[in-house]
Amino acid sequence: MSIASRRRVQLAVLLGPVSLFLAVFFLGPLAIMMVTSFLAPGLYGGVEWTFYPHNFGRILGFADPMFEDFDPVYIAIFIRSVKIAALTVLAALLVCYPAAFCIARLSERWKNFCLFLITLPFFTSLIVRLFVWVLILRQTGLVNEMLMSTGMIARPLDLIYTDGAIILGMVYVFIPFMFMPVYASVEKLDWTLVRASLDLGAGPIRTFWRIILPLTAPGIIGGAIIVFIPALGNFVVPAVLGGAKVMMLGNLIEQQFLAARNWPFGSALAMLVMSVMLVLLLVYVFASSRRGADAALNR
Amino acid sequence: MQDSIVRLEGASKAFATPEGGSVTALDAIDLQVRRNEFLTLLGPSGCGKTTLLQAISGFVELDGGRILIDGEDMTDRPPYRRPVNTVFQNYALFPHMTVGENTAYALEVAGVAKAKRREQVAAALKMVGLEGMEGRRPRQLSGGQQQRVALARAIIARPKLLLLDEPLSALDKNLRQAMQIELKTLQHELGISFIFVTHDQQEALTMSDRVAVLSGGRIQQLDTPRAIYDHPVNSFVATFIGASNLFDGRIDGDRLMAGDGTAIHHRRNQSTASGAATALIRPEQFFLAGEGEPFPTLDVDLEAIVFVGSTFELFGRTSAGKKVIAEIPAGRRGLIGEIERTRRARLAYDPAAVHLIHPCAEA
Ligand SMILES: Nc1ncnc2c1ncn2[C@@H]1O[C@H](COP(=O)(O)OP(=O)(O)OP(=O)(O)O)[C@@H](O)[C@H]1O
Ligand SMILES: [Mg+2]
């Protein structure tokens, strides 16, 4: 056997299991969902096997004239979900970026301890942690009680069941995902470059924009993507902290599958969300592979 | 106009160690760098060279003392407001910028117009022999080329002083020698004072107008390379620069009587003091004594004879057991054959070439 063909066999053996797993448990369901999104909803749940593009139409504006109306509420939910996910990304970044600099400067021992603390939430249940936030934020919760007892407010504030509460909960849930890539790039930052910039006459602010930010950008972009994607589809946090008032894409999809039993419409929504993310990811991969090609050229 | 571009007055710095003690990195240093001077800081690892440079560039805050650049007190100014630029040991080129952008950085920061910037970048790159490389990325360059970009970047805004912290240590020997000459030429053309840090005494001797030998956070000696080599003020400087034979003893007229009984003759008027002193004889000042040698001699048992090209190096011991190194020009092969056989040599020296170090000058 030639080396090349032996390589190929080796690769096949090594990649076999994961490929099989992905094919069965990822691509399979995905294909089912894709097909479902083009089928008509059954009268009592289930699907009818006819081609039916109006699931997408309901969202995008060409609804089935017989049964359903085009309802701009779905686009509105989509836009507000994107907004909340984007704000989550921004808030998480504002928390993680400075923290990464602080932790990167600690001694090895404290560093590891801090990283351990950041991963600690993974050891407990997400639902439990979110319900603790309910206890903190509700009308008779910790914050309101404290503010009232100090006399700063007369009536409890509406803290829970707001967009703010959702963003707070999401940031809380996704902080580790933002922190890790951001920290990795901050930790790698070569401080002699910062010194070189100061030495050449650039003040701290200019040095930040021209040197520190561009050099840590890969971590920021990576963290933003890793947080944005699950935040856009998340339904647990809005369900717990958003109450019935605030609907996000995740809840909408969940509702279509579990409550309304309109699988085709749920699938169509899911497909749309996924395609948006796919476009985002492709843009990122494209941009970074161009950078990669640059780097390869530079050898 | 003052004739010194930089003045350090009693510059002091101590660092706390993790164990709770402290290390003195700069011990009340007084230093004046002249205009247009190539000054080298030379000393063993940890003697405070980098700390001294960083105190001048502003990255190390002094515990005490002052720093004046061109007559202005810079002690409390941040690095980005000092008219000083640095060439870093690892070049510290910005990886996300092209060579052109790297070079233009100081101008961009200073708000120089784009067209003018481009012109000056081209001129600076030409100066360091990198014409037309503006578009490259730092990673696309060899070590020597990166070094030159770092140099161009540091000189483009015409600082009053350029600091170079072991800029050549990562280069191979040939490139290093070429760069030594280029640096020296560049310094002349620019008319900027350079403070250059090196571990390499050869480099210090060949490049500098003056050399400051540092040890333990103090300047041991600041003088021209020749003066430092020929007239070191203490045995630290004598052993740190070049190979040396040192004989500790007491002066007795025109002789120095070493503790082990060896007598070293010196030119009498060199010393007015008497008492304890150390005599220095450089290896190349020894020669093989002939018949009826008029000069004073020293008999040694040879332990090794090493051929290093232009010279033979003789490693021997006196009858009292003191180690002696001598360098004999390789042209005199006949004599070498003789001593290789007998493993003994009679080394002669000119008393006028013996340098006496007096203990009062010891730090
Ligand atoms: N940031 C610091 N914190 C603590 N100690 C330091 C620090 N910087 C330097 N030192 C100590 O100060 C002393 C002088 O250091 P410096 O870096 O100036 O030496 P150097 O002459 O440049 O040595 P080398 O030739 O190895 O570069 C050393 O003992 C070093 O351990
Ligand atoms: Mg150093």
**Which CATH number belongs to the domain containing residue A120 in this structure?**
1.10.3720.10
Q: Do B88 and A203 touch (CB under 8 A)?
A: no
Neighbouring residues of B269: CB distance < 8 A, sequence distance ≥ 6? none
Q: At what angle do helices A163-188 and A108-119 cross, to 10 degrees?
A: 150
Residues A1 and A64 in one domain: no
- Do A203 and A289 lie in a common domain? no
CB of B44 shorter than 6 A to ligand 1: no
> Rounded to an integer, what distance in angstroms lies between the CA atom of residue A88 and that of residue A234?
12
Judgement on whether residues A199 and A181 belong to the same structural domain of the protein: yes
- Token code pair at residue B43: 């000393």
Q: Are residues A223 and A132 in the same domain?
A: yes
- Predicted ipTM of the assembly: 0.84
Pairing mode of beta strands B311-318, B263-265: unpaired
Residue A298 tokens read as 């530079």
How far from B18 is each of A107, A170, B23, B50, CA to CA, in Å?
11, 41, 10, 20
Cα distances (Å, whole numbers) of residue B332 to A60, A125, A224, B336? 99, 88, 76, 7
Report yes or no: B27 and B218 within 8 Å, Cβ to Cβ.
yes
Distances (CA, A) of A185 to A100, A181, B284: 9, 6, 55
For residue A224, being part of any structural domain is answered with: yes
Domain count, chain A: 3
Which pLDDT does position B362 carry in this prediction? 45
The label of the residue with tokens 């790297």 reads B102
Q: Please report the pLDDT score of residue B363 as a whole number.
A: 41
Listed in order, the ranges of chain B carrying CATH 3.40.50.300 are 4-235
| Most A CBs within 10 Å, among B84, B89, B99, B105, to test the A interface | B105
Q: Where are the beta strands (DSSP E) in chain A?
A: 39-41, 47-51
Q: What is the pLDDT along chain B (363 residues), one digit of tens a residue?
A: 558 899 999 999 999 988 888 999 999 999 999 999 999 999 999 999 999 999 999 999 999 999 999 999 999 999 999 999 999 988 999 999 999 999 999 999 999 999 999 999 999 999 888 999 999 999 999 988 999 999 999 999 999 999 999 988 888 888 888 889 889 999 999 999 999 999 888 889 989 999 999 999 999 999 999 999 999 999 999 999 888 999 998 888 888 888 888 888 888 665 556 688 899 999 999 988 888 889 999 999 999 999 888 888 999 999 888 999 999 887 766 777 788 888 888 999 999 889 988 876 444
Superfamily of domain B4-235: P-loop containing nucleotide triphosphate hydrolases (3.40.50.300)
Helical ranges in B138-172 per DSSP H:
143-155
Long-range contacts of A251-254 (CB under 8 A, 24+ apart): A252/A74, A252/A77
pLDDT of residue B254: 82
Three-state DSSP class for B225? helix
CB distance B347 to B334 below 8 Å: no
Least Cα distance to B180 among B199, B161, B201, B206 occurs for B206
B287: helix, strand or coil: strand
Residue B154's closest CA among B178, B175, B125, B184? Answer: B125
Domain for residue A266, yes or no? yes
Cβ contacts of A136 within 8 Å, gap of 6 or more = A142, A143
CA distance B5 to B159: 11
| Residue B48 Cβ < 6 Å to ligand 1 | yes
Sequence-distant (6+) residues with CB within 8 A of B12 are B24, B26, B27, B28, B29, B62, B63, B64, B65
Examine the domain organization and report whether A95 and A236 are in the same domain: yes
Residues A185 and A274 in one domain: no
Mutate to test the interface with B, among A197, A200, A294, A298 (most CBs of B within 10 A): A200
Q: Does A198 touch chain B (CB under 8 A)?
A: yes
Chain B nearest CA to A32, separation (Å): 45
Q: Is B212 in the pocket of ligand 1 (CB under 6 A)?
A: no
How crowded is residue B99: how many other Cβ atoms within 10 Å of its Cβ? 26
pTM of the model: 0.82
Q: Based on the domain organization, do A167 and A191 belong to the same domain?
A: yes
Mutate to test the pocket of ligand 1, among B12, B13, B15 (most ligand atoms within 8 A of CB): B15
For ligand 2, a single-atom ion, the residues with CB < 5 A are B 50
Claim to verify: residue A228 and residue A239 sit in the same structural domain: yes
Q: Which domain holds residue A42?
A: 37-71+262-299
- Asked whether residue A291 is domain-assigned, the answer is yes
User: pLDDT (tens digit, 0 to 9) for every residue of chain A, 299 residues total?
Assistant: 677 888 888 888 898 899 899 988 999 999 999 999 999 888 777 888 888 888 888 888 777 777 677 778 888 888 989 999 999 999 999 999 999 999 999 999 999 999 999 888 888 888 888 888 989 888 888 888 888 888 888 888 888 888 889 999 999 999 999 999 999 999 999 999 999 999 999 999 999 999 999 999 999 999 999 999 899 888 889 888 887 666 788 888 888 888 888 889 999 999 988 888 888 888 888 877 776 555 544 43
Pairing mode of beta strands B311-318, B323-329 = antiparallel
* Residue A80 domain-assigned (yes or no): no
Q: Are residues A280 and A220 in the same domain?
A: no
- pLDDT score at A286: 85
Q: What is the pLDDT of residue A244?
A: 65
CA dihedral B207, B208, B212, B215 (to 10 degrees): 0
* DSSP H or E stretch at residue B40: strand B38-42
Same domain for A65 and A92, yes or no, is: no
Query: What is the predicted pLDDT for the residue at A299?
Result: 39
